[in-house]
Amino acid sequence: MTPGPGAAAGSRGGTTPAILLVIAGLACQEVGASLAVLLFPQVGPLGMVMLRLVFSALVLLLIARPRVRGHSRRDWTSVALFGLVLALMNSLFYLALERLPLGVTVTIEVLGPLVLSIVAARRASAWLWALLALAGVVALGGGGWDRLDPLGVLFALGAAGSWAFYILASARVGRAFPKLDGLALAMAVGAVISLPLGIVDAGAALFSIQIVALGAAVAVLSSTIPYAFELIALRRLPAAAFAILMSLAPATASLAGFIFLGQHMTWLELAGIALVIAASIGAVRSSARAAREAAEPIA
């Protein structure tokens, strides 16, 4: 799982179609992740990262047609760092997926933005959500962390940290570049960074038209469609409501893992996912409340 572009939310139009778009985007994202896992034996996780980033960059560059002139060296440094974060986040996520169930991987990954929300809230009550998330992570072990690959857990935690940096980098680039320009350019940087290890990992599989076409499908399902749906939804949903819907990613990932990959989970693991989702929703609401209070004028 990777996040879509951040944007300011509006309130135009009905909310129900927007909610359905967000859910559809989450579903496409996890179907794309499931397809990526099925391709691991042919191209490897880093080869899959390369295919996803390359095709995502091509699509975004064609759609955005970003202007490359009129930007400062600081702006380009921000784009380069954003691209590096994109490559690192996707690489760690897919390396974790190679060793852990999809639902577990996504649940651990959302700890990154969850911690960011708790810190941003600056409220003592926000730490209640941190404890709830911790309980969820402990439950994910299903009563014994020996069931989970330790290296896979480390990769997933690395992806979680990268996601937090992604949010910060995305906001910075979004201020310097209009529309999707910054994301398209950063995706291109990430694609270039992923090429060396991706080519080595995929090897001769890159000469297979079928494999390359499936890699393009993963890019469309995991990036293009979710980004488009999220941008439309963000025009009609408050930011907090959108973030709460995105908190459901672990649930959709677990369902996709069960349907497409036959990954069964224990009741304790499912309870852990539910606790992390609850903590994410609580942290988002707490952060939104803190932002409203900060914006209110002092009497």
Q: What is the 3-state secondary structure (H, E, C) of 54-80?
A: HHHHHHHHHHHCCCCCCCCHHHHHHHH
pLDDT over threshold 70, residue 74: yes
Task: Give the residue, 245 or 38, on which the prediction is more confident.
Answer: 38
> Does residue 261 lie within any of the structural domains?
yes
Task: Give the residue, 127 or 202, on which the prediction is more confident.
Answer: 202
| Least confident window among 143-147, 163-167, 213-217, 262-266 | 143-147
> Does residue 215 lie within any of the structural domains?
yes
Q: Are 111 and 276 within 8 A, CB to CB?
A: yes
Mean pLDDT of 70-80: 92
Which tokens in the block code for residue 73? 């060296």
> Does residue 130 lie within any of the structural domains?
yes
> Does residue 65 lie within any of the structural domains?
yes
Mean pLDDT of 115-138: 76
Task: Give the residue, 179 or 146, on which the prediction is more confident.
Answer: 179
pLDDT over threshold 70, residue 295: no
Q: Give me the chain's average pLDDT, please.
A: 85
> Does residue 248 lie within any of the structural domains?
yes
pLDDT over threshold 70, residue 296: no
> Does residue 1 lie within any of the structural domains?
no
**Cβ neighbours around 285 below 10 Å, total:** 18
| Per-residue pLDDT reduced to its tens digit, 245-281 | 888 889 899 999 999 999 988 888 888 889 888 888 8
> Does residue 4 lie within any of the structural domains?
no
> Does residue 231 lie within any of the structural domains?
yes
Number of structural domains (the chain) is 1
DSSP-derived secondary structure letter, 237: S
Range of the domain at 93: 15-292
Under the banding of pLDDT at 50, 70 and 90, the label for residue 7 is very low
